[in-house]
Structure 1
Amino acid sequence: MAVFIYRRGGLSYIILTKLPTIVGLKSPIRNYSAFYLQRKDLFNFLPNHKASIIFLGDSITAQCEWSEFFHNSIIKNRGLAGYRTDGILARLNQIVKMRPHKIFIMIGINDLLAGVSATDTLANYSEILKQIKQESPETKIFVQSVLPINKLSRTYLTYFSPLTNTDIAEFNSRLKSTAEEFGLEYIDLYSLLIKDGKLMTSYTFDGLHLKGEAYVIWKEAIERYVN
């Protein structure tokens, strides 16, 4: 847990991001790490490619080498650790100006872990989809479910969030309806990674992020859409 706190920005991560949620404030203060800001700035200077396939999301997306997985150099990973739906909205122009061929999006778990309501999270999600469709109408959008978690003993998930997989499943049900309203493909990854009501222990180190085996399952689930 100490390593996680350090990587997310030290004690300020707890004081500014988690403490407000614990004491009942509706909207925690955002405190971005230097790594987050560096990656976000770098994305402004990377070359655009209209035939690209974008993977958009948080650290769960960011931590996979998608182009190597699919042997496809036009796949661009635009995942960023700590991302929430409002963060996606704040830099969506970086994505839509590329006019990508496809976007695979997975976002929402950080919102829910931070205590943002499902309704507010989905409102942001709908705005993301709306803006992509309006500003890059030829882009094919694939909405991927939020993944289950596993509250392994002595992890930050146990201490800092009351979120359950029941909550996530309910969110995904509403997310699927949202995707259908926009006429988009919804990909259920949640069901592929859950067993006995939790993210399979063999698929995770910390109850949230994925091991390689889980990424293989993810890859196989979306391969026909990517290709």
Structure 2
Amino acid sequence: MMKRYVFLVVILTVTVGMAQNEIDTTYRPKTYPVQVRQFRTYPNDTSDIIFLGNSITARAHWNELLQIPKARNRGISGDTTFGILERLDEVTEGHPAKVFLLIGINDISRNFPDEIILQNYRKIIHRIQKESPETKIYIETILPVNALFEVYERHYHKDEHIIHINKELKKLARQTSVTLINIYPEFLDAQGRLDPDYTDEGLHLNENGYLKWADILKPYLVNIDKK
């Protein structure tokens, strides 16, 4: 049976200081609908390891990178925390063994307030715990960026937001009894930017970055069947 999906149009008005900023929570990448439909056609298994996020997640070939056949890539380039919430049922319906979540840099680039991003993180965690209680949740801190590359200007010069959200994610992990993986400091250079060794344009990881990320994740993937 073909499923129909209705995208709810919502504009949130939030007060930041003395100014009111309207944020468009309805933004979805152009590829979002077709990718979500594709994800829904794939078979689910309770041994699945889900990597959930945006383009930083989407660009990795997790099966090859980690040598885990059950690794499932659920990254969509350009996605936000609102997009994750909209498609989260596709993840929880399969009751996967683990979910690794990295999301938020596109929210920051679109000037979503930190408190809204953190509220969405809390909602994501709550829903996974409610809809798939046996799933182990791992939230990863948002990676740094490097403005010297001058490629993704909307994502640069907002380091204080990344740092603040990451600090609050640590608290949220403790409050919700999920595992936090603090990848942020592992990718910094001496100047506090995304290390050029791990990126070609200051936002996404290159092959060295993904190998570094894989090494960080491996301790959380012990006892996974790699046959």
| TM-score for both structures, normalised by structure 2 | 0.84
Alignment of 1:1-227 (within 5 A): 25-28=21-24, 30-157=26-153, 160-161=154-155, 163-195=157-189, 196-227=191-222
Following superposition, the deviation at residue 202 of structure 1 comes to 2.2
Is the Cα contact below 8 Å between 2:28 and 2:83 reproduced in 1? Answer: no
Please tell me the residue identity of whatever aligns with 1:184: V
Q: Distance in 1 between matches of 2:170 and 2:131?
A: 22
User: When the two structures are aligned, how many residues end up with a matched partner?
Assistant: 202
Identical-pair percentage:
34
Give the aligned CA root-mean-square deviation in angstroms: 1.6
| TM-score for both structures, normalised by structure 1 | 0.84
- Give 1 or 2: higher helix fraction: 1
Please tell me the residue identity of whatever aligns with 1:189: I
Is the Cα contact below 8 Å between 1:39 and 1:80 reproduced in 2? Answer: yes
CA deviations 1:165-194 (Å, max 9, x no partner) are: 232111100011111100111111100001
Q: Distance in 2 between matches of 1:172 and 1:147?
A: 9
Q: Distance in 2 between matches of 1:35 and 1:166?
A: 30
Long gaps (5+) in structure 2:
1-19, 223-227
CA deviations 1:184-210 (Å, max 9, x no partner) are: 111111000011111012211221111
Q: Which one is further off, 195-204 or 116-125?
A: 195-204
Q: Distance in 2 between matches of 1:78 and 1:189?
A: 19
Is the Cα contact below 8 Å between 1:112 and 1:163 reproduced in 2? Answer: no
Query: 1:152 aligns to what SS in structure 2?
Result: helix
CA deviations 1:134-154 (Å, max 9, x no partner) are: 111110001100000001243
Distance 1:42 1:120, change over 3 A: same
Runs of 4+ in 1 over 6 A off after TM superposition: none
Please tell me the residue identity of whatever aligns with 1:78: R
CA deviations 1:64-119 (Å, max 9, x no partner) are: 01111111111101011111001010011100001000000001111011100110
